[in-house]
Structure 1
Amino acid sequence: MRLLVLCTHNSARSQMAEAWLRRWARGLGVDLEVHSAGTEKTFVKEEARQAMAEVGLDLSGHFSKTLWEVPDPWGFDLVLTVCDQAKEACPAYPARTAKRHVSFPDPTGKPLEEWRKVRDALGRMARYLVEALKEGRVPSDEELRKAAGL
């Protein structure tokens, strides 16, 4: 299965979600190819790198990219938007693509503690999503929000 995480700038939330999803997929033995992208390209924020490093996830190789920079941008089975602006700008995908949306707060400009809260919520949501995919199902937006604690 191929999964794309979309956010506005691909600088924080989508990058953190990508790292969590890869960790849980590997840990739970789920064959999941994960990519992230933004509706605009910027850079990965240092606070995202720092918050993720605290839980052993290294974002040093990550970089901000748009949808057009990911392999086979129209070949995703699941597209997950993690901010409202990205949901609104999300392109139309083929009918076989499932779309899910969970809006996480933007921690930009806030203390590191706020970054940690978003990081942990993304981690809870990612684990729940990968567990559901392992069972052969795609959970609803509401299930994902509840798993995240939002």
Structure 2
Amino acid sequence: MSDKCYNVLFLCAANSARSIIAEVILNQIGQGRFKAFSAGSAPRGEVHPMTLQVLRAQGYDTGALRSKSWEEFAGPDAPQLDFVFTVCDTIAGETCPVWPGQPLTAHWGVADPVKVEGSEPRRLDAFSRTQNQLLNRLRLFTSLPLAKLDRLAIQHEIDRIGQTPAAAEG
């Protein structure tokens, strides 16, 4: 078994909901095998309040969360990345910086809970569905025997995980 800790970056345009949620979940369920980060191409500058509310309700630590630019992960002092996952369709089509470490990449598109309109319970439900979908994908990801697979097999698996069905819209 490998003792390697894999660095994983989650990207979304605003870095206020989906990428933040994925970062928090992977840092908890990754059990030291993964170090997760998140960033955005046009960061909002703050984590969406409902992101924080949903994560705290599930017992996740949100104290150190902040919305940040992907440029933090493209410089010479950035951690060497093993994986980069885009979680919004907007950023999937953008030209990303060159990431240190030649990471494997995949698109794990998730509907934007920030765009859901209506009552507060309806909006919170959208954030909860996003959290559940990302949790399911991250459970599949963390169960992969990464040390036993070659790059091509890992790429196939992370692409497959990104195609798991989205949570039903409410």
TM-score normalised by the chain length of structure 2: 0.76
| Percent identity of paired positions between Structure 1 and Structure 2 | 27
The CA distance in 1 between the partners of 2:125 and 2:87, in whole Å, is: 19
Q: Which residue of 1 aligns with 2:113?
A: 107
- Work out which structure has the larger RCO, using CA pairs closer than 8 Å and 6 or more positions apart in sequence: 1
Alignment of 1:25-40 (within 5 A): 25-26=30-31, 30-40=32-42
SS at match of 1:3: strand
Task: Provide closer, same or farther for how the CA distance between residues 84 and 22 of structure 1 changes in structure 2, counting only shifts above 3 A.
Answer: same
Extract unaligned runs of 5+ from structure 1.
none
* Greater Cα radius of gyration, structure 1 or 2: 2
Alignment of 1:122-141 (within 5 A): 122-132=134-144, 136-137=148-149, 138=154, 139-141=157-159
CA deviation digits over 1:111-130, x for unaligned, max 9?
A: 11111111110111111111
TM-score normalised by the chain length of structure 1: 0.85
| Counterpart residue type for residue 162 of structure 2 | L
Residue 59, structure 1, aligned to residue 77, structure 2: no
How far off its partner does 1:34 sit?
1.2
Task: Provide closer, same or farther for how the CA distance between residues 58 and 98 of structure 1 changes in structure 2, counting only shifts above 3 A.
Answer: same
- Please, what is the CA RMSD of the aligned residues? 2.4
**How many positions carry a matched residue from both structures?**
147
Asked if the contact 1:128/1:144 (under 8 Å) is kept, the reply is: no
| Counterpart residue type for residue 131 of structure 1 | S
Extract unaligned runs of 5+ from structure 2.
1-5, 117-122
